[in-house]
């Protein structure tokens, strides 16, 4: 069975969501029967390669909230990150464009080093203040994760694997995905946001028990039975029987949009 995940490397919720998915798979008795496929999603295609402006100020302006409110949000995220063993140094975040980093991940997949390279890149941005739009920085991180330096520099100098990034984004648009992380289980059920581990475990269990049954088509296409459809993600009953909404549920993109769980 498969889990498709759309995420951006410069999304703190995606880093937490990735870790929580790993923990949920470890806890679920059939977790080793799921293949996780990561897909590229850029929150801002037009961002400069590297930005010197504090990320927290950029995000506050984007969503029309005060800097003070955004500080509280990031402090809360840091606490949640620590609970799953992650070190979120939000004051060191370097803004920029994630396109080259996504291309590098696709290259690493072809080299059999996707997990190691993704871990190193995300940790670099999330915990060490690495600028992911800087090609020298990306090269250093990739080499530390086991890739050949010459091959990485050659990749970054061109546009190889750019079509893979854009294809992933086109798939997201077709499914109505506008915020990340978004997890699609067995191509039928969607969970959006960095949901708690128990929610993801419930989604895994439901997906496992429902395998073999066809998806219920969404009104505008896309994933049936979950939140994906041509109109984007709406609220839905969660696996725990609750309805979740709002930016507190943890997704980048439509920060204050609704978050949908698997039924």
Full-model pTM:
0.84
Q: Which of 188, 185, 192, 202 lies closest to 232 in space, CA to CA? A: 192
Distance CA 228, CA 233 (A): 6
- Return the CATH architecture of domain 46-170: 3-Layer(aba) Sandwich (3.40)
Q: What is the pLDDT of residue 19?
A: 97
Give, for 5, the enclosing helix (H) or strand (E): strand 2-7
Distance CA 140, CA 108 (A): 14
First-to-last alpha carbon distance for the chain, in angstroms, is 18
Q: Which residues of the chain have pLDDT under 70?
A: 216-263
| Domain residue ranges in the chain | 1-41+177-263, 46-170
3-state secondary structure of 95: strand
Which whole-number Å values give the CA distances from 143 to 17, 111, 209, in the listed order?
Answer: 25, 13, 41
Q: What is the pLDDT of residue 233?
A: 34
- Return the CATH architecture of domain 1-41+177-263: 3-Layer(aba) Sandwich (3.40)
Task: Give start and end residues of each alpha helix (H) in the chain.
Answer: 12-27, 55-63, 67-83, 99-110, 114-128, 135-144, 149-157, 162-175, 197-209
Distance CA 226, CA 236 (A): 8
């Amino acid at each position: 069975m498969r889990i498709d995940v759309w995420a951006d490397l410069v999304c703190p919720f995606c880093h937490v969501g990735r870790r929580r998915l790993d923990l949920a798979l470890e806890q679920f008795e059939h977790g080793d029967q799921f293949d996780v496929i990561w897909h590229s999603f850029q929150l801002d295609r037009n961002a400069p390669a590297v930005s010197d402006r504090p990320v927290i100020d950029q995000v506050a302006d984007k969503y029309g909230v005060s800097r003070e409110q955004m500080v509280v949000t990031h402090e809360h995220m840091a606490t949640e990150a620590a609970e799953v063993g992650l070190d979120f140094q939000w004051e060191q975040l370097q803004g920029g464009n994630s396109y080259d980093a996504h291309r590098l991940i696709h290259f690493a997949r072809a080299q059999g080093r996707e997990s190691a390279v993704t871990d190193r890149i995300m940790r670099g941005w999330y915990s060490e203040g690495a600028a992911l739009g800087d090609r020298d920085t990306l090269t250093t991180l990739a080499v530390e994760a086991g890739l050949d330096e010459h091959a990485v520099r050659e990749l970054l100098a061109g546009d190889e694997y750019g079509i893979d990034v854009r294809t992933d984004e086109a798939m997201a648009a077709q499914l109505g995905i506008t915020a990340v992380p978004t997890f699609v289980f067995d191509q039928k059920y969607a969970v959006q946001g960095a949901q708690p581990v128990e929610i993801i475990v419930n989604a895994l269990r439901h997906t496992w028990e429902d395998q073999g049954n066809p998806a219920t088509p969404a009104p505008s296409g896309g994933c049936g039975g979950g939140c994906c459809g041509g109109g984007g993600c709406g609220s839905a009953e969660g696996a725990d029987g609750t309805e979740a909404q709002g930016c507190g549920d943890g997704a980048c993109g439509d920060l204050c949009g609704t978050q949908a769980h698997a039924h």
